[in-house]
Amino acid sequence: MEEEEMLQDQYIDKLEEIEKYLKEESEKLFKDHLNLEMIVASTYRIKRGTIVKSPCIVLYCSCKGIVPVNDSKFPTHINGVETDVREGFFHLLSNFNEEFCAVSKDQLNPLRMGASIGNGGGQTEGTLGGFVKSNEEVAFITCAHNFYGTNEMETPELPKAPITVVQPSHLQEGSQECGKTVRSVSSFSNINDENITVDATLVKLTERCPEQLFFADLKTARLKNYGFSRATFPRYIGGAPLDLRKIEDRALNMSNKYLKCGTTTGLTMGHLELNLFRGRLRDGRPRESRRDLQNEIYENQLVILGENFSAPGDSGSFVFQVREDYIGRLDCVGMLVGECGKNKRVVTPIIAVLNALNASLIPFP
């Protein structure tokens, strides 16, 4: 009994020593590590899934295994005490409601992926896909057909005059300028060297530029249904996209889950179909009045299978593969452009979109 009491006293003394040190040094730790969310003194460590009774300093971060740009790795020891890195973050209880993140159709500041966007003064609504860099400027990508009609899309070149883009769209209250179009690629007039149809627009940001990548409309119940939680919510840090243009690459990734966040349907998940898609666009005109066949074919697109994966208004949503080796990590694979039957959605490979717009995905903290 005396030995247990001595050990207990030693634990208490060690924890008091840790707490005293953290009171003095926690501000510096937060300043030195942008990924640090919480610091806690603990009586145990988690080692390879096993709880080990040992006083330690727990460093909570939003995403283990990710070191922000220009940051350093978490220390293994602080003031001679071992550290234990875990995932988690602090939030106010008043924010713990059905809408985990801001609503896509509200005015968002900063902007988020999945936000409602539209043509300034027009009657269109699409989705902010993802953020990129082009000519050292921050921009985002969405579908060209969110801003141009069928007749404009069929011309050899789209109009070059910049279009004011608003968020949310004019169909929603509170719409306000967030950027201007700087480059657009028409699905009918531009087929690249890889014979992949690209229907995309690059929008240079003029307002509300983000410093981190967040999705809009992450509802708590849906996160749980898809195997996520508030501690392991979907997180995308940008950087290198996943290239699924080759059949062997698609075959290796068929079993993975694919996620998108759109203005209309929010967060949804589906699976990849192996074969590349080629299809004639149905635009409501009589067949005899259609133009040259080649100008109506969407070439070499990906197909995502998923019930209620998307709906009108979700055009432009980036589609991500959910990493099996790390819950919550996402790799960008494409951009949603349309549908081709019940529970089948058409996605353009993201590499082709980036190449057509001369843009690159931004690595964010």
Q: Can you tell me the distance from the alpha carbon of 337 to that of 339, in angstroms, rounded to the nearest whole number?
A: 7
Do residue 354 and residue 285 come from a single domain? Answer: yes
Residue 97 covered by a domain: no
Do residue 235 and residue 187 come from a single domain? Answer: no
Residue 280 covered by a domain: yes
Do residue 196 and residue 281 come from a single domain? Answer: no
CATH number for position 257? 2.40.10.10
Q: What is the pLDDT of residue 293?
A: 45
Q: How many residues does the structure list for the chain?
A: 365
DSSP string, 188-228: TT-B-TT--B--EEEEEE-S---SS--BS--BHHHHHHTT-
Structural domain for 56, as ranges: 2-90
Residue 317 covered by a domain: yes
Provide the number of structural domains found in the chain.
3
Q: Can you tell me the distance from the alpha carbon of 339 to that of 341, in angstroms, rounded to the nearest whole number?
A: 6
Q: Can you tell me the distance from the alpha carbon of 19 to that of 131, in angstroms, rounded to the nearest whole number?
A: 41
Do residue 251 and residue 200 come from a single domain? Answer: no
Do residue 187 and residue 234 come from a single domain? Answer: no
Q: What is the pLDDT of residue 281?
A: 72
Buried b (16+ CB within 10 A) or exposed e, 270-297: bebbeebbebebeeeeeeeeeeeeebbb
Closest CA to 268 of 226, 212, 211, 233: 226
Do residue 255 and residue 315 come from a single domain? Answer: yes
Q: What is the pLDDT of residue 224?
A: 79
Do residue 42 and residue 11 come from a single domain? Answer: yes
Do residue 83 and residue 201 come from a single domain? Answer: no
Residue 179 covered by a domain: yes
Residue 247 covered by a domain: yes
pTM above 0.85, yes or no: no
In order along its 365 residues, the chain shows pLDDT tens digits of: 455 555 555 667 777 777 777 777 778 888 888 778 888 877 777 776 677 777 888 888 866 777 776 778 888 888 888 888 887 766 544 434 444 567 888 888 889 999 999 987 777 889 999 999 988 889 999 999 898 877 777 666 677 788 899 998 888 888 899 999 998 887 665 555 568 888 999 999 998 888 778 888 888 778 878 877 766 777 777 777 877 776 666 666 666 888 999 999 989 999 888 677 777 776 555 455 444 444 567 788 888 888 888 888 999 999 998 876 655 578 899 999 988 777 888 899 999 999 989 999 987 76
Do residue 262 and residue 147 come from a single domain? Answer: no
Q: Can you tell me the distance from the alpha carbon of 116 to that of 96, in angstroms, rounded to the nearest whole number?
A: 23
Do residue 17 and residue 65 come from a single domain? Answer: yes
Do residue 240 and residue 321 come from a single domain? Answer: yes
Q: What is the pLDDT of residue 23?
A: 77
Q: Are 278 and 298 in contact (CB under 8 A)?
A: yes
Residue 319 covered by a domain: yes
Q: Can you tell me the distance from the alpha carbon of 60 to that of 62, in angstroms, rounded to the nearest whole number?
A: 7
Do residue 232 and residue 348 come from a single domain? Answer: yes
Residue 218 covered by a domain: no
Q: What is the pLDDT of residue 284?
A: 52
Torsion-angle region of 197 (φ positive above 0: left; ψ -120 to 50: alpha; else: beta): beta
